[in-house]
Homo-oligomer: A and B are copies of this chain.
């Protein structure tokens, strides 16, 4: 199946371009040029510009949703659950940071069903993470501080890891996990 390969290539190239300038600022001619073909040729493989966006975002959103569900329904401790969430973000960031950038910045350009599907997944994801934090506060494993700040401060720094993780060397999965858990569990203070 060559089609699938070429299609996947278009999606990957598009994700890289979308990361740089955003979905709206990237034209079909930009994507074509990056693949050394003409814009019209893209339509042998994809249906529309929209379809590219959907392919980039939805797959990765579903992965987040699915793994988060596993974590929440596991019988790990609160700290272990949080560690698993951190690990999930690190893994996907290292594997596909272009798609992640696109998910973060261009999800609002999804339309109709795909848009509401995405928003639903996103809300569920946040709600699940909130549940983990909430449980931890209740069972005394976590400090009694503002729950929403905990939820969003952590989530948003995990979500934007793609912006900086490649800037400095030696930030492999293990190092990132250790540093993140240290920061979020123990804090900065010595």
Contact = CB atoms under 8 A, between A and B. Distances in A.
A21 interface: yes
A125 to B, nearest CB: 13
A187 B185 contact: yes
Q: Is the interface of A mostly helix, strand, loop or mixed?
A: helix
A67 interface: no
Given A82-B188, A142-B189, A153-B179, 6 more contacts: A20-B108, A22-B23, A153-B157, A154-B157, A159-B160, A184-B188
Contacts of A188: 79, 82, 136, 142-143, 150, 184-185
22 contacts: A20-B108, A22-B105, A22-B108, A23-B25, A24-B25, A25-B109, A82-B188, A105-B105, A141-B189, A143-B182, A143-B187, A145-B178, A145-B179, A146-B179, A153-B183, A154-B157, A156-B157, A156-B160, A156-B161, A157-B157, A159-B160, A186-B187
Interface of A: 20-25, 79, 82, 105-106, 108-109, 136, 140-143, 145-146, 148-150, 152-154, 156-157, 159-161, 163-164, 167-168, 171, 175-176, 178-180, 182-190
A156 to B, nearest CB: 4
A176 B149 contact: yes
Contacts of A171: 146, 148-149
A76 to B, nearest CB: 15
Contacts of A109: 21, 25
A179 B156 contact: no
A150 B24 CA distance: 33
* Ranked 7 nearest A-B pairs via Cβ: A187-B187, A149-B179, A24-B24, A146-B179, A157-B157, A24-B25, A156-B160
Contacts of A108: 20-22
